[in-house]
Structure 1
């Protein structure tokens, strides 16, 4: 699946050979406050290999390469099924990472929109996509809401930052039903 934006950024399916590129991207994003939940030193090859394999097996992984340096990723999103039968209609453990130098340039919107389009077109059994976002990350919460995600509660004191400050994680969900298309 390829999708272009201004003929500059191309969304493509991720692959296991992207391992080192994803590690580099995640370490860069993790080194910035509010980027992703993991610290840079927690972004290991084993962690990245695990989510790439799970996404390839039962979900979606999409990437955007740097058009000027194709050996470098500037964005990645992935999600996959939890692996339990009662949750077979759900994509979970969703993470999106956009290189700090490319944030605010609609790349996240392109990537996330493509993820939801692929969910609808290629995974008709999936009726729900869920994610968690830190309460202080208002920009991300607004971003997800624009795509139709709803806030579904609060997980109080779930996050403890480097300074020892506790904050809530916000569960958000997006539901798609084929029945809605017929209305």
Structure 2
């Protein structure tokens, strides 16, 4: 089941992010950077001025989460940015990420007509994720050279991607 996140999900989301970050390259943040404060901060921000969804398995466990929010400037009020997705390592390659993303885009399309753009970035070595994002309608828009200190110990490019609302699909 995919549903909107609630503040009560914070502990489960913290556990999810801690497990995902423990895998090298699993998230941009390393395990030590996943704190309850980090989780509570983005969760509050996204519930108030963005969107956060969780994937819950048949046993009631949070196995995935996706979120993005507005940056706070009026000129970017039509943009959800800093999109982050986390799927528990054991649950990856089972369709949870696609379900989360498709529901995220569906909610934006159907319930957030003021949002015309969603932004995310991916490390260049994560070609599987880039292909996945492209399959959902995101396009590569830019490259920030040497921006990420990669898990291999080398610097790699940060690939900027964007999704634009289809003309005539709202707002």
Range into which the TM-score falls when normalised by the shorter chain: over 0.9
29, 32, 35: which one aligns with 1:41 = 32
Gap runs ≥5 in structure 1: 1-9
Q: Distance in 1 between matches of 2:138 and 2:151?
A: 28
Deviation of residue 128 (structure 1)?
0.2
Aligned to 1:180: 168
Give the TM-score, by structure 2 length.
Answer: 0.95
- 2:146 is paired with a residue whose SS is strand
Q: Distance in 1 between matches of 2:152 and 2:68?
A: 30
Q: Distance in 2 between matches of 1:96 and 1:106?
A: 13
Deviation of residue 162 (structure 1)?
4.9
Q: Distance in 1 between matches of 2:154 and 2:40?
A: 31
User: Do 2:140 and 2:159's aligned partners in 1 also have CA atoms closer than 8 Å?
Assistant: yes
101, 106, 116: which one aligns with 1:112 = 101
RMSD: 1.3
Gap runs ≥5 in structure 2: none
The size of the alignment, in residue pairs, is 170
Q: In the TM superposition, what are the counterparts of 1:15-34 in structure 2 within 5 Å?
A: 15-34=6-25
Q: Distance in 1 between matches of 2:30 and 2:57?
A: 23
Q: Distance in 1 between matches of 2:131 and 2:168?
A: 24
Aligned to 2:124: 135
Deviation of residue 95 (structure 1)?
0.4
- 1:152 is paired with a residue whose SS is strand
* Counterpart check, 1:167 vs 2:156: yes
- 1:180 is paired with a residue whose SS is coil
* Counterpart check, 1:80 vs 2:69: yes
Aligned to 1:158: 147
